[in-house]
A and B are shown apart, each in its own frame.
Chain A
Amino acid sequence: MSEWFERRVAAALHADVPLGADERARQRVMERVRVAAAEGHPVRRVGRPWHRVSRHSLVGLSLAAGIGGISTLSAIVPAAQRDMGQGLSSVVLGDTVVATLRDTLRLVRLMFDAPDARRVAVAGDFNRWNVAATPLARDERTQRWSVTLALREGEHRYAFVVDGTRWVPDPRAERSVRGENGRIYSLLSLSRTAN
């Protein structure tokens, strides 16, 4: 493959297209944005994102939703005052944080230790095994990777994906299963009674 050809293709692909300079097209975007703004978008979050709210806010959210599991939540919260890296304290199930969000949704915090990784994501049935959809964030102080998910009740299979290619089951998971492709997946069971 000649470098000449590659350079020519690259230059051609990088060339702007007429649509990019179309002022009316940009205005049409803003027309739709204004409609969305009138409908209340974007939803403005006060302070930190929802998955980084304090345990008090989380309890408040749960209470406001009028949901089950509050007693369980209240009982376990005192034991969850350990530092969770990014400030979330809530219900602890093993090393996985679980809190009730609504009747059928649970907040789950997954953590993973991989100090040398450049990026870590979690792929599972809840995100259709998309290795890019759910990245974990690294806490600079602890070097621990974590992410908080809102998952439906039921059983979920998942694995961590390190640097986009290496699949690693969750060392903290209580159960795992071997997939048809031979890969080991972790199992997370979320049920109203268990949490």
Chain B
Amino acid sequence: MSDRAIIQRVLAGDAEAFSSLVDRHYPRCARIAFRIVGNREDAEEAIQDAFLRAFKALGDYEDRERFSSWLTRILVNQCRTVLARTKKRDAVFPDLDPHRLQFAVAAETDDGAWPELEHVLERLPAEQREAIVLKYADDLTYEEMSRITGAGESALKMRVQRAFARLRALLQEVPSV
């Protein structure tokens, strides 16, 4: 069943049908939120709030925009809210042991997981982190990212490029790689 059909069922009074949207989009939202806010607890809170806001506002949703994009925009705003609230807290990510950085690149695993990368993401400026996560955790085009973040496409491309450079430096990748 398409997102649109599910939304129509929800708007017709079947609130439980919303669970299909939650099941379908939760893993994607988790990839985005966890990597933007940096920890599971805040990520889950941001996702919960995003789904709840989407549910309450479903009557305003218009299908000229993909539901996934609409939901992502809400989620990114919730992540920003969480980050603003936690800004003064201690670092969200634990600091890396400098010695571990020596083998950070080699520590990646076959399934794509790269624990050290998850850690150093926190060292990126929030805008760069948000841009590179949206680009690759959700496979968005720069046009879609622009609609979601409100930033221009050229600015987003620049943020992603700078994020790569910063990550590379943080991971101490050898120049010959």
Contact = CB atoms under 8 A, between A and B. Distances in A.
Interface stretch (A3-11, A62-70, A171-179): A3-11
Contacts of A135: 65, 147
A2 B177 contact: yes
Interface stretch (B52-60, B82-90, B94-102): B52-60
A119 B22 contact: no
B43 interface: yes
Interface of B: 10-13, 15-16, 18-19, 22-23, 26-31, 34-35, 40, 43-44, 47-48, 51-52, 55-60, 62, 64-65, 73, 105, 108, 111-114, 117-118, 132-133, 135-137, 139, 143, 146-150, 152-154, 161, 164-165, 167-168, 173, 177
B15 A21 contact: no
A132 B70 CA distance: 11
A164 B57 contact: no
Given A19-B40, A49-B60, A44 B13 contact: yes
A36 B173 contact: no
Interface string A1-34: 1101110111111111111111001101110111
B117 to A, nearest CB: 5
B18 A30 contact: yes
A41 B54 CA distance: 10
Contacts of A12: 108, 112-114, 117-118
6 nearest A-B residue pairs (beta carbon)? A20-B27, A20-B30, A37-B15, A12-B114, A132-B150, A11-B112
B113 A15 contact: yes
A19 B43 contact: yes
B130 to A, nearest CB: 12
Contact of B34 (A19, A33, A42, A133): A19
Name which of B30, B64, B108, B167 has the most chain A CB atoms within 10 A of its CB: B30
Contact of B51 (A18, A29, A44, A164): A29
A2 B132 CA distance: 16
A43 interface: yes
A5 B27 contact: no
Contacts of A6: 164
Given A5-B164, A28-B48, A132-B146, A42 B56 contact: yes
B168 A1 contact: yes
Given A36-B56, A41-B56, A43-B56, 14 more contacts: A1-B165, A2-B177, A9-B132, A10-B135, A13-B35, A13-B136, A14-B112, A26-B22, A33-B19, A33-B55, A42-B11, A132-B147, A135-B65, A164-B153
Contacts of A42: 10-11, 55-59
